[in-house]
Amino acid sequence: MVSRVEQSEETRGKIVAAAVAAFSTLGFHGASTREIAARAGINQGLITYHFRSKELLWRAAVEKIFASLRTALVPLPTSPASDPREQARESIRRYVRFAAAHPELFRLMVEEGKSGDRRMQWLVDTYLRPFYEGFKEQLAESLSEPEQSLEPHAFYALAGAVSLMFAVEPECRRLTGLNPKRKQVVEQHADYVARLFVP
């Protein structure tokens, strides 16, 4: 962190991290650049300097979220011996672990998916569709069920079942007394959802 470029990249990183949290919980309009700067512990002017505009910062935040999603779900070295259904279950478990560690993705997708504006369209076309196509392929391989037209239903049912508990973590805590961040709770949810979709 001595060099200037490293310092600069660290600053950008702090801003994007704060932006991810702020945009996902407060929405695009609700999250002000001042708020983001405060959370990042940096100066508000730096946001314009590094990202030119709030919208471009938002895109950088979305990029970061999907980058960590790709990292988390990168295909494992397929052990040919194991049951394809068990592989599918493990994929779902990994998705649950990601949703628990990064509730921001679901929050942001719901926040943006409610409206049909330009940002949502960009988000779908740029990041969500590739992910969805990958999901369809994996579903076809692992389960090989003939209900092809059910793909949208399976996709949204899975995403919702996997993520909701972690997206509304404070609510879940108060309602059930369960802390969704505890590793044991995450694993229980992972196993529950995995067996639900791949009995």
Partner DNA sequence: ACTTTCACTTGTCAACCGAATAAAATTCCC
Partner DNA sequence: GGGAATTTTATTCGGTTGACAAGTGAAAGT
Residue 199 in the binding site for its own copies (CB under 8 A):
yes
CB 60 within 8 A of CB 19: yes
- Distance of closest approach, residue 86 Cβ to its own copies, in angstroms: 18
Helices (H), 102-150: 104-113, 118-123, 129-143
Query: Which positions ≥6 away from 59 have C-beta within 8 Å?
Result: 122
Residue 175 contact, options its own copies, DNA, none, Cβ 5-8 Å cut-off depending on partner type: its own copies
CB 181 within 8 A of CB 187: no
Residue 54 contact, options DNA, its own copies, none, Cβ 5-8 Å cut-off depending on partner type: DNA
Residues that bind DNA (CB under 7 A): 2-5, 7-8, 10-11, 31-35, 42-46, 48-50, 52-55
Task: Write the DSSP symbol of residue 149.
Answer: G
Distance CA 130, CA 126 (A): 7
Judged by beta carbon, residue 11 or residue 91, the one nearer DNA is: 11
- Which chain residues interact with its own copies by CB under 8 A? 24-27, 29-30, 107, 109-110, 112-116, 120-121, 123-125, 128-129, 132, 149-165, 167-176, 178, 188-189, 192-193, 196-197, 199
